[in-house]
Every structure is written in structure tokens, then in C-alpha cells.
Amino acid sequence: MTDQPHDPELVPLRDKTLAAITAATDSDTLEQIRVSCLGKKGSLTGRLKELGKLPAEARPAAGAAINEVKDALEEALAARGESLKQAELALRLTGEPFDITPPGRGFPAGAPHPVADVMEELIDIFTSLGFAVEEGPEVETDRYNFQMLNFPDDHPARDMQDTFYVQDGRRLLRTHTSPVQVHAMLKRKPPLAVIAPGRVYRCDSDVTHSPVFHQVEGFLVDRRVTMGHLKATLELFVQRLYGRQTKIRLRPSFFPFTEPSAEVDVSCVLCGAKGCRVCKQTGWLEILGAGMIDPNVLTACEIDPEVWGGFAFGLGVERIAMLKYGIDDIRLLYENDPRFLGQFA
Ligand code: FA5
């Protein structure tokens, strides 16, 4: 250490503190020693602050001497601190009793998403009626999504505003599950009873429309199929889903791939068909589109429409879930807010 003519107490202070550090037997005592010499009001810190009062030529040597002591103390504090920490840990591991009896903290249980839940219920109902499950690609061609389903070239559904096209311009994200009808009919011979659950995409977004949503397509091809078979199947379906008192109503509509076509309403399950905000006081709610498969579609799929006929329907899974749980904004289903989803656990 440099000579300290101006501060004869520095060396004794260093030695006294080093001895105290060595003698410390716990971290709290060590911390007190650190504060007493290196803290804001510590003895060594005080000396550093006082440096300015020394004559300019004495300052470098005095400063260097104080910093040397400071470094020595810091090093000793760190070393002693580490060994005390290890010793305290060893003591805790061997000595401190560990109570294994308190009950554990549970993790909140997850639950199926309401859309997945309803989807599964729909699949269960239709498979119990004898429908087989088929799947089709979500990235489709214009041919399967539109042409084979009898859409005229200038049909508005092809418009860029409704359909998401893949960058190559030749493929698109399917706008409905109806192309699975075509895949299934080209692959297999009638009689056929198929449902096709899956994700579909449309450039559409508001409280009842989502750009990605789910449909379940259903269709049946056989001899002598009538609109009565369609109505009976749908009636059975809604009664299984919403209860025996539920009624359906078919309203004339238009789809290029069915003739005749219908929009199907169900008696409002929220108000018991008395009229409420959700059914706009009508007592009825639209849940699906349906109809008799157009002979042009059967012909395009190499099925003779003189021999075979069929019905088809396509329902919106989110809409059915919204009705079932009284949800008034489709977007809630996709925000993944645990406060919302937790209600279905
Ligand atoms: C169709 O998609 C036809 N492919 C259905 C069909 C199949 C008709 C077979 C005849 C025979 P539509 O565009 O109406 O039809 O859609 C069917 C259902 O999907 C609607 O009743 C609605 O419940 C739901 N839906 C439609 N657009 C959206 C959307 N953006 N978000 C959520 N659900 C929607």
C-alpha cells in the first residue's frame, strides 16, 4: 500500500474491517459491515467524499490509497458472502424441516373450445344417423369450389371481395365445404351419405360473420330421394341438438348447386319462439342452407341424374354454437379470452 501521511487511520480501518468480515457468521452481519464502510454514509465513502478538500498535489496518492482499500474490502466481502451463502444453503437443505403435507396448488383445467365442442356434437348426431365423415382440402381450385358446383363464370361469389385467392391466382381458400361433395362423388359410387366438417374462408367480418369459420356439409345420394327426406333429416338433427320441441321452417332460396334450394330456420331456442332480440322478434333463426342436388352437379360428377337423386345441406358451426350458448358476437369465439372461454369449462 502507498504511504498515507494524510490518513494514518486508513490501514487500521482496513485491517479491522477485514477481520470483521472474516469473523462474520451470517449474511446479515456481512451486509451491516458493507454498509458501515462502503454504504452511502460509510467510513470509506466519507473519505472519498473528503478528497476534494486535500491540496491538489496530494489527491492522486490519497485517492489511490482509498480505492486500494475499497477493492480489498469488496473482494473480501464477495468471497465471504459466497461462502456464507453456501453454508446457509447447506444448513437449510440438511436442517430445515420440509412440510410435504400442505395441499398442492392446482393448475386450472382446460376445456374444449365451444366451436370444437359443438362440432363434435354435430358429427356424433349425423354419424348416428348413418352418415360417414369425409374431409377435403382447404386450399381448393376454382374447378372444385365453383365450376363443378354449377356456379356460372360471372357468379358474385367468385368476386375477389368474397374469396381469398392464393398468390398463384389459380388456387383459393375454399369458401364453403360443398366442394367435398364433388370429391366424394367422383371417388365413390352412390348410394352415399356423407358429412364433411371443416374450416372455410371468406372475406367477411362483423358480429355474425368471421373470415374463418366452420361448416358441416351433409349430403345423401340414392334412388328416389325427396325433399321430404331432407326435411325429416334436418328436423331430427335440430331436435337432437336443441330439444324435441324445436321446429324447422324451409324458406325458398337459391344456390347454384341445388334445385330447389332453401334456407332453413329453427324456432328460436333462446326465447322458445316467443320473439326476442336475437331472433329479431320473429321467433325464427337461420342456421343453414340446403336443397336437392342439382342434376348438373350429379352429371359433372359422373352420376346419372335419371337414376340417382340427392339432397345436401351446409350449416354454420359458429352460428349453432352462438345459439346454443346465447353468444351475441361471433368474434368472442376467436379472441381466446380465458374469462370468456372459462365459462364453457
Ligand atoms: C353455403 O355455404 C352453402 N355451401 C350451403 C349449402 C350446402 C347449401 C349444400 C345447399 C346445399 P351459405 O353461404 O348460406 O351457404 O353458408 C351456410 C351457413 O354458413 C350460413 O347459414 C351461416 O350459418 C354460415 N356462415 C356463412 N358465412 C359465414 C361467416 N362469414 N361467418 C360465420 N358463419 C357464416
Around ligand 1, the residues with Cβ closer than 6 Å are 176, 178, 202, 204, 209-210, 213, 215, 217, 255, 258, 286-291, 312-316, 318-319, 330
| Burial (CB count <10 Å: 0-12, 13-18, 19+), residue 317 | buried
> Could you tell me the distance, in angstroms and rounded to a whole number, from the CA of residue 288 to the centre of ligand 1?
6
Q: Peptide bond before 191: cis, by omega within 30 degrees of 0?
A: yes
SS3 345: coil
pLDDT of residue 54: 86
Atom of ligand 1 nearest to the CA of 319: 23
DSSP helix/strand/coil, 88: helix
Cβ atoms 86, 28 nearer than 8 A = no
Q: What is the pLDDT of residue 50?
A: 87
Protein residue closest via CA to atom 2 of ligand 1: 176
Radius of gyration, CA atoms only, the chain = 39
Least trusted range by pLDDT, from 8-17, 187-196, 275-284: 275-284
Q: What is the CATH architecture of 114-344?
A: 2-Layer Sandwich (3.30)
Q: Tell me, what's the pLDDT at 100?
A: 83
Please give the pLDDT value at position 4: 45
Q: Whose CA is nearest to atom 21 of ligand 1?
A: 288
d(CA 309, CA 17): 100
End-to-end CA distance of the chain: 73
State the distance from the centre of ligand 1 to the C-alpha of 241, rounded, in angstroms: 18
For 2, counting Cβ atoms within 10 Å of its Cβ (0-12 exposed, 13-18 middle, 19+ buried), the class is: exposed
DSSP 105: P
Segment holding 259, helix H or strand E: strand 258-267
Helices (H) and strands (E) in the chain, counts: 11, 9
pLDDT number for residue 2: 46
Mean pLDDT to the nearest integer, 161-179: 90
pLDDT at residue 328 in the model: 80
Cell triple for 280: 329479431
Range name among 201-205, 218-222, 248-252, 305-309 with the lowest pLDDT average: 201-205
Question: What does the pLDDT look like over 55-88, one tens digit per residue?
Answer: 888 888 888 999 999 999 999 999 999 999 998 8
Q: Percentage of residues in the chain with pLDDT exceeding 70? A: 97
264 pLDDT higher than 90: yes
Q: What is the pTM of this model?
A: 0.71
pLDDT at 3 over 60: no
Residue showing cell 482499500: 69
147 pLDDT higher than 60: yes
* Per-residue pLDDT, 156: 79
The pLDDT confidence band at residue 197, using thresholds 50, 70 and 90, is very high
* Cα–Cα distance, 102 to 108 (Å, whole number): 18
Cβ atoms 304, 298 nearer than 8 A: yes
Q: Which residues contact 242 (CB under 8 A, 6 or more apart)?
A: 266, 269, 323, 324
Residue ID of nearest Cα to ligand 1 atom 18: 316
Q: What is the mean pLDDT of residues 192-197?
A: 98
The residues near 113 (Cβ < 8 Å, ≥ 6 apart) are 333, 341, 344
Query: Is residue 198 within 8 Å of residue 138, measured between CB atoms?
Result: yes
Q: CA–CA separation, 192 vs 46, rounded Å?
A: 94
At 305, list the grid cell.
341424374
Longest CA span, the chain? 120
Task: Determine which residue's CA is closest to atom 9 belonging to ligand 1.
Answer: 313
Q: Which of 119, 126, 213 to mutate to test the pocket of ligand 1 (most atoms within 8 A of CB)?
A: 213
pLDDT the model gives residue 255: 94
Candidate from 5-9, 29-33, 52-56, 324-328 with smallest mean pLDDT: 5-9
Mean of the per-residue pLDDT values for the chain?
Answer: 91
Read off the pLDDT of residues 115-134 as tens digits, 9 standing for 90 and up.
999 999 999 999 999 999 99
Under the banding of pLDDT at 50, 70 and 90, the label for residue 294 is: very high
| Mean pLDDT calculated for residue range 232-252 | 94
The burial class, CB within 10 Å (0-12 / 13-18 / 19+), for 182 is buried
C-beta contacts of 227-233 below 8 A and 24+ residues apart: 227/260, 227/292, 227/311, 229/311, 230/290, 230/291, 230/292, 230/311, 230/313, 233/129, 233/311, 233/313
State the cell numbers at 334. Answer: 376467436
Strand ranges (E), 98-170: 132-133, 139-141
pLDDT band at 5 (very low <50, low <70, confident <90, very high): low
- Site of grid cell 454514509: 41
pLDDT of residue 93: 82
User: pLDDT-derived band of residue 6, with 50, 70 and 90 as boundaries?
Assistant: low
